[in-house]
Amino acid sequence: MKRIFLVTLVVLLVSAFVFSGCAEPAPTTPAPTTPAPTTPAPPPPEPVTLRIQSAYPSGDISADDLTYFSAAAAEYSNGLLNIEVFTEPEIVGMFQTADAVAGGTLDMLQGMGALWGGRGIRVADIEFGMPYGYLIPEKDTFEDKANEIRRFYFEDGMVDILRAEYTKQGVHWLDMHVYGPVPFLVGTEKAADAFQGTPDDLKGLVIRTDGLWMEWNNALGMTGVDMPPMDAYTGLQTGTVDAHIWDVSAFMGMGYEEVAPYWIRGEENDHVVGTIVVNMDVWNSLSADLQDALARAAEDYYYQTLADYEVALEGIKAKIADGTVIEVYMSDANLARHQEVAYEIWDEVAGRDAASAQVVELFRAWRGVD
């Protein structure tokens, strides 16, 4: 009996041991853990407000079209770029604009290269106003001629030279645009008669002009003066100025047909070039994304102005038809003299500095001029 009891006890102990090995372990409470530190999300980028002024007054097509540039910059930057638009002389006068953007009074400037000649960018005079430099006979349409100029700038090395020269003045050359046929020469009856006459008839005419055209006009015997457009309007009205060089805006927004209704044809390029430039400190302060947005907006502005200038030229036809504008052509003798002097200027400006020499050679190769 005792033996049976011992066997039974052993069996029970073994069974208890096996059962305890198969049973699930009692739940345990995990040791507390310290959460991994998290990096706070970066703050959203701050909007940037920039001021651009045109060198030209309200009524000039390229000045008024800066509203498109501003809207495009806002779109491409997802609303981070707020560009406030001004026209001459809302912040500074026309001839103070280059100093203003180089010095930081303006963030950006839309205007012409000739404004930079006084600050030592000699090549900028060629950029804007090379006499007969932008005649593009191999292209048929207004748009195709402009696009060939743009191709020349961005594919043949022109932009690289310009950016290097503008950088020396603390300015970033952003992009180019075109103004249509320029010199768009408007004049009084006195000027119209002289241009239809002989080269001697041009002597003594007072003409509002700028850049290399100043040299061109002076070499032809005229007296070139440079002044803001509205001062020139008064001069034409009072007889102290006989002729004025601008673009088609002169008759399509600026009112010059009221005081100088003659459109004198013959010496114009198919287009000439304007620019948008940015103060270099401002440019460098922008993120790469905002720089890209600004560049894309400037390219859109090129296409917008191109379209609007073409529409304006169609508007001139209506003004000619109703007699508001009188279209005349300079004489063959005056045209021949203009061409002769123009290419003499090419030779002269090539010797002004290394950049000018480079650009003149680019023009010669592009336009097939020996």
The per-residue pLDDT for range 220-271, each reduced to its tens digit, is: 999 999 999 889 999 999 999 999 999 999 999 999 999 999 999 999 999 9
pLDDT at 177: 98
Q: Is the pLDDT of residue 22 over 50?
A: no
Please provide the DSSP assignment of 76-132 as one string.
Answer: HTTT-EEEEEE-TTSSS-GGGHHHHHHHTSSSEEEE-GGGGGGGT-HHHHHHHH-TT
- Burial class from Cβ neighbours inside 10 Å (0-12, 13-18, 19+) for residue 38 reads exposed
pLDDT at 299: 98
Helix-then-strand count for the chain, H and E? 15, 11
Q: What is the mean pLDDT of the chain?
A: 91
Q: Cis link prior to 89 (omega < 30° from 0)? A: yes
Among 307, 283, 292, smallest CA distance to 173 is for 283
Q: Are 277 and 213 in contact (CB under 8 A)?
A: no
What pTM value is reported for the model?
A: 0.86
Q: Is the pLDDT of residue 15 over 70?
A: no
pLDDT at 33: 65
Domains of the chain, by residue range, sit at: 48-178+271-321
Mean pLDDT of 47-66: 97
The per-residue pLDDT for range 125-143, each reduced to its tens digit, is: 999 989 999 999 999 999 9
Q: Per the structure block, which two tokens stand in for 218?
A: 């002076």
Which residue would you say has higher pLDDT here, 23 or 60?
60
The per-residue pLDDT for range 100-114, each reduced to its tens digit, is: 999 999 999 999 999
Q: Is the pLDDT of residue 40 over 60?
A: yes
Q: Are 210 and 55 in contact (CB under 8 A)?
A: no
pLDDT at 28: 58
Residue 45 DSSP symbol: P
| Banded model confidence at residue 43, pLDDT cuts 50, 70, 90 | confident
The per-residue pLDDT for range 230-240, each reduced to its tens digit, is: 899 999 999 99
pLDDT at 1: 43
The top-level CATH class assigned to 48-178+271-321 is alpha beta
pLDDT at 75: 98
pLDDT at 224: 96
pLDDT at 117: 87
pLDDT at 30: 60
Mean pLDDT of 38-67: 90
